[in-house]
Amino acid sequence: MLYLKDVTIKRGLKTVFYNWSATIENSKVTIISGKNGVGKSTLLRAIAGMIPIEKGIVKNHDNEIFKDKIKWGQNLIYIDSKNGLSKDLTVFENLKTWSEMRGWKTSDNDLQKALDSVDMLNHKNLYVSQCSEGLKKRAALSRLYLSLLFDVGFWLLDEPTNELDQKSIILFNKLIQRFLENKGTILLACHELKLFNFNYELLNLDLLKKKN
Amino acid sequence: MSLQSSFIQIFISHIKREFLINFRSLVDVIAIISFMILIVTLFVLGIGPFEEKLKLISNAIFWIGLILAIIPSLEKTLQKDYDNGWLDQATTSPTPMELILLSKSLAYWLIVIIPLLISLPLFIVLLNIKLKLIPWLLISLLIGGLSISLIGIIGSALTLGAKRGNILLPILIIPLIIPILIFGVGISEAVRINESPLGNLFLLIGFTLIYLVISPFISAFLIRIAISR
């Protein structure tokens, strides 16, 4: 259980969350919804450790997650609209350097399987500068497959389905299914809820913020 | 079998990544070298055919040319990875940001210094540098280049997300580079007047070591601020 208690998160001068509490169930998909600008991305970036939490605590079971940032870093994958792909490298090289950056020892075979899981194997030697937005997003999502091989507990995904076509969404659903079988927890910010064919908890920020 | 690589392995794989990116599009590297050749040529042509004048200021020209040529490319070292989200991926990974930045500055140093060393004979001819000076010039270029790239990474991190970073950056980091310039020129000058250059060399090494220690920490701190905005 990811447990946020009385958190205050600021973005610049604006206080996005003030003394705000929520719980996120483990081994489930939680979809964060709400209108534009309500703070979906801010919440995800804060949990990922990129935006400092001014006040309050975030606990995973009984451990405060930001006390041991290395351990928390091992435990999560964060993907947002920026993707984190270098333009001058190919899709394959991007995935390889990314897994090396996390310190994972992956064989080329694993990497190819990861690209295959999002149907990118045909495009693996394409430079990212030549990729369309949808291809870039798929290349970024291929990391999720790699994380299944290692002990990652959380996926924080910020609008992952925006540029995906029908077929990729099916593949994405499959990845989520596999992660849930591995007892993984998924936090997902998204507008279109009908795309998913699994059970999810809904964390509607519009409603929750009014209540507080 | 351990699935986790050691810090050294992560460090080396990072340097490989930088090499891959920079040598694939050689534009940046060629820009540095050609810019430096242009600056030096302009100086030499501006002085006119007087060997005495050139002898007095050739060392200064070399160092100023080096600094001016490197500065425009410094901004891009982090800006690209900031824009495409790679730095976000690095912050949410178990690898410490400091390690990534140290490998980044070392990789940048190698990327700049290797082509410079290749084109060094050209500068030696252009500036009429004496033979006995060349080994000292090499040493000071290697060490000075390292500290310039370490300082440059700080400046680059500082101007992340700033709108006019390319103008702000030189103003911020040139004051920090001044000691490198002074000691770098000092080494060559000492050799020219047949004095021992060791004093200046040790000071240059000292400065570089200080930056080697503090630069990754300062720039990691600055990047965290830039990302949290």
Phi/psi at A53 (5° precision):
-95, 115
CA-closest candidate to residue B84, choices A52, A187, A133: A133
Taking CB atoms and an 8 Å limit, are B21 and A89 in contact across chains? yes
| CA-wise closest residue to A113 among A137, A133, A92 | A92
ipTM more than 0.95?
no
Amino acid found at B51: E
The per-residue pLDDT of chain B, averaged, comes to 90
Q: Does A13 touch chain B (CB under 8 A)?
A: no
Report residue B177 CA to chain centroid gap: 10
Percent of chain B with pLDDT over 90: 59
Domain boundaries, chain B: 2-227
pLDDT over threshold 50, residue B1? no
Inter-chain contact B25–A88, Cβ cutoff 8 Å? yes
User: B88 and A86 in contact by Cβ < 8 A?
Assistant: no
The predicted pLDDT at position B157 comes to 93
Task: Read off φ and ψ for residue A210, nearest 5 degrees.
Answer: -65, -40
Q: pLDDT (tens digit, 9 = 90+) per residue, B106-160?
A: 999 999 888 888 899 999 998 888 888 999 999 999 999 999 999 999 999 999 8
- From chain B residues 3-22, the ones with a CB under 8 A of any chain A CB are 3-6, 9-10, 13-14, 16-17, 20-21
Residues A157-186 pLDDT 10s = 998 888 888 899 999 999 999 999 988 899
**Nearest chain A residue (CA) to B90:** A101
| CA proximity to A55, closest of A4, A3, A9 | A9
pLDDT along chain A (212 residues), means of 10: 86 85 87 87 90 87 83 89 91 93 90 92 92 92 91 89 88 91 89 80 76 54
Neighboring chain A residues of B9 at a CB cutoff of 8 Å: 100, 103
By CA distance, what is A106's nearest residue in B? Answer: B3
Radius of gyration of chain B, Cα coordinates, nearest whole angstrom: 19
Instruction: Give contacts of B4 with chain A, Cβ < 8 Å.
Output: 103-105
Q: Which tens digits make up the pLDDT trace of A127-159?
A: 999 999 999 999 999 999 999 988 888 999 998
DSSP state of A29: E
CB < 8 Å to A102, chain B: 93-95
SS (H, E, C) A54-115: EEEEEEECCEEHHHCHHHHHHHEEEECCCCCCCCCCEHHHHHHHHHHHCCECCCHHHHHHHH
Nearest to A128 by CA among B81, B112, B87: B81
| Residue B227 tokens, joined | 């990302």
